[in-house]
Chains A and B, each alone.
Chain A
Amino acid sequence: MIYHELVVVGGGLAGLRAAIEAKKQGVDVAIISQVWPGRSHSGAAQGGVNAALANHPESADDTWEKHAFDTVKGSDYLADQDAVAQMTKDAISIIYEMEHWGCPFSRFDDGRIAQRPFGGAGYPRTCYGADKTGHYMLHTLVEQAVRAGVTMYVEWFVSRLVVDDGVCRGVVAYDMIKGGFEFFQSEAVVIATGGAGRTYGNSTNAIISTGYGMAMAYYAGVPLKDLEFVQFHPTGLLTTNILMTEGARGEGGYLVNGLGERFMQKYAPKAMELAPRDITSRSIQTEINEGRGIDGKGYVYLDLRHLGAQKILEQLPGIRDLAIHFEGVDPIEEPIPIVPSQHYSMGGIDTDMDGRTVLPGLYAAGECACVSVHGANRLGGNSLLETVVFGRRAGAAVVEYLGGPGAKRQGAAAGEAALKAAHARVEELAARAGTPGAEDPYVIRAGMTTTMKDHFSVFREASAMRVGLDKMMELKRRVKNVGLRYTGGVFNLDMIRTVELEGMVDVALGIAAGALNRTESRGSHSRTDFPDRDDARWLNHTLAFNTPDGPRLDSKAVTLGMFEPQERTY
């Protein structure tokens, strides 16, 4: 048994920021991460982070209220407006804090942090460091966590939560380097494990973005909220779905169809390429579906050539490298073939503004959580912001929770039981290795990613979704019978990926069930059989509770306030 007052699962931006906050206030904190924290998926974020700093010449009268309005409108009015107000207010101080900690933001000539236009934003308010903003922010927070003395368990895979008498008391984790499981006893746990992109076969996400952290909370009885809202980024590379930042369009890039038209003219005549992601992805998909892809095929072009070599080299150097290495295309010379690609989970672990879940002692922050500030569609530049704002708030909330009454170091028996259960699970998987009838986890994984891509994509419709839901239920039955191929103790990827799979299937099922259930179109959830938003019936969050037979759905009111729902045009 290893003891820390607070265990943070995941070492991306949200986890690091939560850990730093608690550590600064004297709490004994450990981060447990499957990868060295600087390798987390936060580092793949490119375009920037929103804050109404009003540094741009065209944004002198920008305010947090305007940022809040854009966010709420972008969310198709499903975001909780009190949480949005909190985030957009906190944005300003937290960006300055990141800067004071050394984050290398790009600069305007006057020395202030540079800002660029982004989709769905009324003002250029996206602060950036070239097109590597996530990488720069992530390394800055790793540096600050090292400086603060946060303990880090690197390359440990957390496999389950320990819950004793209705209170979260720690986690069980697998030591990838040395082998074996360990019980981490703690007074509180923050889950900060990122999104569930890899439940889809066409995701921009890192391979470790499995959604397993969401599944752990779900198994502990915490509901997952608004899972059906899955963001498709308009511009993933054709062959690999690797992200081409929205900043490419923020800098003036065009979207062009097979007829050579800037087709956004038809869909968002004012915002053009800087319409929000849901609208832009639907526009691209419509062009493709109606035969106006490049050469009639399933992709369109992101054309940056008119920006010129200098602007591309200075503002979008990472994009250029990725396009050259992964697509064989130099954006200075040629347009980039792109497709809408799964990018972000708006839904996640149901939390309040301080990261609290319904399970005492369990908190969540970042993409794995759903506060909700993104509602039905997240604006570009708001995810990096969410990680640091709500990571900080969750860390502070844990400090407050630890200061309260209650016996410390409880749950040892529950921890031992969970440790036994983890061992038993692996032994069960190992015993099935190579036996007739054992399911191949990678066949099930491929079935899941294909089903989600084909049946729960940019456009959705009841009959196709029913077929998809049936396929997912079948995979849920089959995943119970998977077996391992390898039973060694050290760096056993087969074991990790097989254990992860069960969680992925359950989260994917939550997405599927929520999508079929919601008979309207809102934000990223676009149904051809229910093309309109239906505020009378559906201006509420979906909650999914885990049961052995799949998700049980419920709903929860949306917090309105500052802005009345209105029609969404750009």
Chain B
Amino acid sequence: MPEAKFRVKRYDPEQSAVQNGAGRDHYDEFTVPYESSLTVLEGLFYIQESLDGSLSFRYCCRAAVCGSCAMYINGTYRLACQTNVRHLGDGPITVEPMPHLPLVKDLVCDMTDFFAKYEYIEPHLMRNSKVPDKEITQSPEERKKLDGPIDCILCGCCYSSCPSVWGEDNYLGPAALLKAYRFEVDSRDEAKKARLPYFDNERGVYRCHTITNCVEACPKELNPTEAIQWLKGAAVRRRLLGRAK
């Protein structure tokens, strides 16, 4: 039976408090046997169930659609459920929480700021005109503009990977701005300038220096950098030229 060696970063706030933070940077090693196929998430469950009940990590759909299990695996942003150990080479598999975020415990990061920023950009369709009795029509071409940004699962990989986020706590980051873009390019949205103040400000699009780590980190192969550049253009057009959209 094949085996995978897991090297898992551990952090326990309760232990760290009594040990003056000494527990912060240690790794535990585990050996996980498997039959033919093993994902990193399945490996973590094996460890939690059979080797060390104290291990903490997030999980839900195990099908790469919920965004819970974003982690840093062998130095790459990945969804643990979508990562098969077969594709990770022969060496030990190093599993760490997403870097540059505050920690809750082990592989669980604190996502409070991430979701506060998502809420800040007013992530909803804005309409002023009366809604029709039936659907608001939208051509397939208009709808196609939403492909991509609507597939964001808000896993946080882009946010964790962004040097502008590391350097500036207030920066909204790629995921929240991609969400703003998703509504700005929706033919049904009538925000005109209403959403502008939330991304056209010192917390918003100008903090993006097109480093494109977010593009590399995204497990859904989305392109937040491009969306942010579009928002910059839109902001300038509206400010300088007075255009609504």
Chain A residues at the B interface, C-beta cutoff of 8 Å: 35-36, 38-41, 43-44, 53, 96, 99-102, 104-113, 129-130, 132, 135-136, 139, 143-144, 146-147, 154, 177, 179, 206-208, 239-240, 242-243, 318, 321-322, 325-326, 442, 484-486, 488-494
Contacts and interface: CB of A to CB of B under 8 A. Distances in A.
A41 B61 contact: yes
Interface in B67-112: 67-68, 82, 104-106, 108, 110-111
B60 A39 contact: yes
Given A40-B60, A43-B66, A239-B37, 16 more contacts: A36-B111, A43-B65, A100-B125, A102-B188, A107-B139, A108-B140, A111-B139, A132-B65, A179-B14, A207-B60, A239-B36, A485-B53, A488-B12, A490-B14, A493-B55, A494-B54
B200 interface: no
Contacts of B134: 53, 96, 112
Contact of B66 (A44, A101, A177, A484): A44
A486 B53 contact: yes
Nearest to B49: A442
A43 B61 contact: yes
Contact of A107 (B123, B143, B186): B143
A101 B64 contact: no
Contacts of A492: 56
A325 B53 contact: no
A242 to B, nearest CB: 5
B53 A39 contact: no
Interface string B31-63: 000001100000000001110111111111111
B146 interface: yes
Contacts of A144: 124
B178 to A, nearest CB: 12
B26 interface: no
Among B59, B65, B188, find the residue whose CB has the most chain A CB atoms closer than 10 A: B65
B183 interface: yes
Nearest to B79: A325
Contacts of B189: 102
A206 B62 contact: yes
A498 to B, nearest CB: 9
Nearest to A41: B61
30 contacts: A39-B66, A39-B67, A41-B61, A43-B61, A43-B66, A53-B135, A100-B131, A104-B143, A106-B143, A107-B142, A108-B140, A109-B139, A113-B135, A132-B150, A135-B151, A139-B150, A143-B125, A146-B119, A179-B14, A206-B61, A206-B66, A239-B37, A321-B64, A325-B64, A326-B82, A485-B52, A485-B54, A490-B104, A490-B105, A492-B56
B240 interface: no
B88 to A, nearest CB: 14
Contact of B61 (A44, A108, A486, A491): A44
Nearest to B183: A102
A366 to B, nearest CB: 16
Contacts of A208: 59-60
A223 B58 CA distance: 32
A53 B66 CA distance: 29
B53 A491 contact: no
B124 A322 contact: no
B64 A111 contact: no
Contacts, number: 154
Given A207-B62, A486-B54, A494-B54, A136 B123 contact: no
A130 B144 CA distance: 11
Contacts of A39: 60-61, 66-68
B14 A488 contact: yes
Contacts of A486: 53-54
Contacts of A491: 56, 104-106, 108
A488 B135 contact: no
A321 B64 CA distance: 9
Contact of A38 (B53, B55, B67, B127): B67
A139 B115 CA distance: 13
Contacts of A321: 64
Contact of B56 (A132, A325, A326, A490): A490
A430 to B, nearest CB: 11
Contacts of A442: 49-50
Nearest to A38: B154
A100 B136 contact: yes
B53 A494 contact: yes
B127 A100 contact: yes
Given A35-B66, A102-B125, A493 B139 contact: no
Nearest to B141: A107
Nearest to B182: A104
Interface string B185-220: 010110000000000000000000000000000000
A488 B23 CA distance: 15
B54 A112 contact: no
B82 A44 contact: no
Contacts of A243: 63
Nearest to B133: A96
B137 interface: yes
Contacts of A43: 61, 65-66
A321 B79 CA distance: 14
Interface string B161-196: 000000000000000000000010010110000000
B21 interface: no
A96 to B, nearest CB: 6
Contacts of B123: 143, 146
A177 B124 contact: no
Nearest to A142: B123
A39 to B, nearest CB: 4
B233 interface: no
Nearest to B123: A143
A180 B189 CA distance: 43
Contacts of B14: 179, 488-490
A322 B64 CA distance: 8
Contacts of B111: 36
A35 B60 contact: yes
Nearest to B50: A442
B54 A488 contact: yes
A240 B147 CA distance: 27
A489 B151 CA distance: 35
Contact of B140 (A99, A107, A132, A484): A107
Contacts of B50: 442
Among A41, A44, A491, find the residue whose CB has the most chain B CB atoms closer than 10 A: A491
B108 to A, nearest CB: 5
Contacts of A484: 53
B103 to A, nearest CB: 10
